Amino acid sequence: MGTGKSVVGKRLAKQLNMKFVSTDDIIEDREKRPISEIFAKSGEPYFRKIEKEVVKEAADSENVVIAAGGGAVLDEDNITNLKKKGVIVCLNATPEAVYERTKKYKHRPLLNVDDPISKIKELMDKRAPYYAKADHQIDTAGKTVEEVTAEIIKVYQRTPSPRRGEGRGEGKSE
């Protein structure tokens, strides 16, 4: 969260002439409630179950750039599904940068705590082994949306064609 997935994903989709899909947006649309409410009223396990279904559906789509929620990679099936036809790119930022980018938003259920920077560090440490499974890591610190997008396009273009769906009008980058 707070690394630029949505803004970069939208720009990337436009440049690659693909559709942009946010798994979090799909979940909120289906559930007809914000993620913070899903966490509060139904719990994280319920959210992760719905997220898994949405990730699978999105990964089976063609010609899309997917912004998967930061915790999606905690489920190995999500990683497997996303890698079937796509390239997984993990956007990174320091805990302090993530906090600066997210502090004005109260819809981040995992950050509604007394010490959000410590919580961000804790989440990053817990998720690091999962994020390491991405095909490529990009540090977004000090980079513009355009610079990050250009970096992802280079990664995408270097990916062997069966993974990126070359010739069939499909591809993914998370």
Burial category of 2 from C-beta neighbours within 10 Å (exposed 0-12, middle 13-18, buried 19 and up): buried
Task: Please report the pLDDT score of residue 3 as a whole number.
Answer: 87
Q: All domains of the chain, ordered by start, with CATH? A: 5-160 (3.40.50.300)
Q: Residue ranges of the alpha helices (H) in 32-74?
A: 35-42, 44-60
Identify the band that residue 171 occupies on the pLDDT scale cut at 50, 70 and 90: very low
Residue 4 contacts residue 91 (beta carbons within 8 Å): yes
**pTM confidence score:** 0.83
Confidence check: pLDDT of 64 > 50 = yes
> How far apart, in whole angstroms, are the C-alpha atoms of residue 82 and residue 77?
8
Q: At what angle do helices 5-16 and 145-158 cross, to 10 degrees?
A: 60
Residue 9 contacts residue 66 (beta carbons within 8 Å): yes
